[in-house]
Amino acid sequence: MTMQITIKQKVYPAQGGAPARVLFENLSFDLADGEVCAIVGPSGIGKSSLLQIVAGLDTDFDGSITGLRQPVGYLFQTPRLLPWRTARRNLELVIPDRPGRAVEWLAQVGLAGSEDAYPQRLSLGMARRVALARALTIEPKLLLLDEPFASLDEETSREMQDLVAIHVRKLCPTTLLVTHHWHEAAALAQRVITLGGSPTRIVDDRLLQRSKAAE
């Protein structure tokens, strides 16, 4: 079933000195099953807010999400691991019925040996890999990636991209990838939606021609 995201309007209410602001107006798009779609656009345009709405974390908008695929794997912009639980426990929490897989997944993202480390002991790159493992270990039908490669050094960023590419290909979840780097979008996605304007709307929506060799 196709996912349909329809946002007639999303308003940020006035807060402090800032006046109310219309963030999205008439922003709609469909996502086919297993489609990997990148969302690009300048910062502050509402890319993360859009993911929050798609994930169902923000329901305060006029519009609807239909055909939401479950379960949802969500890689937030910051890793958001529970700091008081070890890497292993952070994973076990999302797969309570098969906790044994936590260690396997940590090994898959290159963190064998760090299972019992608390998140504060991990570097940002490592923490984000744990968060990625958490998002993938539930075998998501919908995968939301919020700038997964930002503020990582080049090598770590490259490794993360490979990891995401491999597992997205293996699990085939419908994927929304938020980024502001066109080359990241091009490397992973079949389709790129560009956001712009104020209020934010879709300014470009295109399918990428991909050679089989690139796959």
Q: Which is closer to another protein, CB of 42 or CB of 56?
A: 56
Selected binder of another protein within 16, 17, 19, 96 (CB under 8 A) = 96
Selected binder of another protein within 61, 74, 105, 149 (CB under 8 A) = 74
* Smallest separation (angstroms) from another protein to the CB of 183: 28
Show the binding pattern over residues 22-61: x = contacts another protein (CB under 8 A), - = does not: ------------------------------x--xxx----
* Smallest separation (angstroms) from another protein to the CB of 211: 35
Residues belonging to the chain: 215
Q: Which is closer to another protein, CB of 101 or CB of 201?
A: 101
| Binding of another protein by 84 (CB under 8 A) | yes
Binders of another protein: how many residues, by CB under 8 A?
Answer: 22
Q: Which helix (H) or strand (E) holds 205?
A: strand 201-207
Q: Which is closer to another protein, CB of 5 or CB of 187?
A: 5
* Smallest separation (angstroms) from another protein to the CB of 96: 8
Q: Which helix (H) or strand (E) holds 91?
A: helix 87-92
Beta carbons of 88 and 103 less than 8 angstroms apart: yes
Selected binder of another protein within 14, 22, 32, 93 (CB under 8 A) = 93
Concatenated DSSP letters of 98-164:
-TTHHHHHHHHTT-TT-TT--GGGS-HHHHHHHHHHHHHHT--SEEEEESTTTT--HHHHHHHHHHH
* Smallest separation (angstroms) from another protein to the CB of 72: 6
Structure tokens that stand for 97 in this block: 């019925």
Q: For the segment 133-162, give every residue that binds another protein (CB under 8 A).
A: 134, 138
Q: For the segment 105-124, give every residue that binds another protein (CB under 8 A).
A: 118-120
Contacts of 101 (CB under 8 A, 6+ apart): 91, 95, 137
CA atoms within 13 Å, Cβ hemisphere of 178? 21
- Put residue 189 in one of left, alpha, beta given phi > 0 → left and psi -120 to 50 → alpha: beta
Q: What is the Cα–Cα distance from 118 to 121, expressed in whole angstroms?
A: 6
* Smallest separation (angstroms) from another protein to the CB of 147: 15
The β-bridge relationship of strands 201-207 and 191-196 is: antiparallel
Binding site for another protein (CB under 8 A): 52, 55-57, 71-72, 74, 76, 78, 80, 82-85, 93-94, 96, 118-120, 134, 138
